[in-house]
Amino acid sequence: MKLLLDIGNSQVKYAFLDSGKLTPSQAFPRSKTGIKASLTSQFKQCPHSVESVVIANVAGDKIGQQCSEWIEKKWQITPQFIHSERRRFGVTNSYEQPNLLGVDRWLALIAARQHARVATCVIDCGTAITVDIVTKYGQHQGGMIFPGLTLMRNSLLTNAANITENGPDWSFKTLAMNTESAVQSGTLYTISAALERLISDLKMQYKGRIRFIITGGDALTIKPMIEDKIAHYPDIVLKGLAYYARQRNKPEDDNTDPEEELETETET
């Protein structure tokens, strides 16, 4: 059984790869400064025999080192950390320095491109919102990054006087009756409007031959605000990790596509 870990800035998602198939994913929060306690709590009574661990980590070297130490102590194995590459599984990275593309973005592109008949836009709504395009031929077209909901709200709370989150109501209202809800609605409208404009521009640029995928912790908050057809793939990074886990013992230049397709989770 192979354990796949997607370590983000605020939470960890994971799944097991059993006989080439992904188990349903789970998630747990982690401390900003450490991860060992969270791993111990989550895997103290792990029901599976873990033979290898494959990791995507965007939380920094310190968290990565702590994770390695914990895994080596728990299972006596050295985990494999995935890094962005120039080319893999039919996808070509457009960055001049390929390793500088976030590994979560890289893995999402790998999973999104497989079996796609048109270009694909991946929108990842996490601490930051990232947008990347990959053609049906696997060529990364570049992307963009802008603040996510939490980051945007925290910026207001930190830098604007008299805006706090101590009020009674953080619920969403189009026209708010208190400061907290005003921040909630204002930031959500800002992000959804930016994404709708981007989607409109990309549909024009690609003459409609492009599909849109949304993922990340805030995806289900943002998705209802977007009128365009967009599919929700919550485990797209884990699916990208699964390609590496299946190919672990093959040469680095082996770009053979595994057989499993990216299933549609939700589409409206």
| Spatial contact of 151 and 140, defined as CB atoms under 8 Å apart | no
> How many angstroms separate the CA atoms of 36 and 42, rounded?
10
Length of the chain measured in residues: 268
> Looking at 6, 104, 124, 235, which residue is catalytic?
104
Task: Note the maximum CA span of the chain.
Answer: 60
Comparing C-alpha atoms, which of 215, 239, 27 is closest to residue 113? 239
Pair of tokens at residue 214: 């949304």
Residues paired with residue 266 on neighbouring β-strands, in sequence order: 232
- Catalytic (active site) residue 104: yes
| Spatial contact of 121 and 206, defined as CB atoms under 8 Å apart | no
Other Cβ atoms closer than 10 A to 70: 19
Dihedral Cα 71, 81, 22, 122, nearest 10 deg:
140
Provide the annotated active-site residues.
104
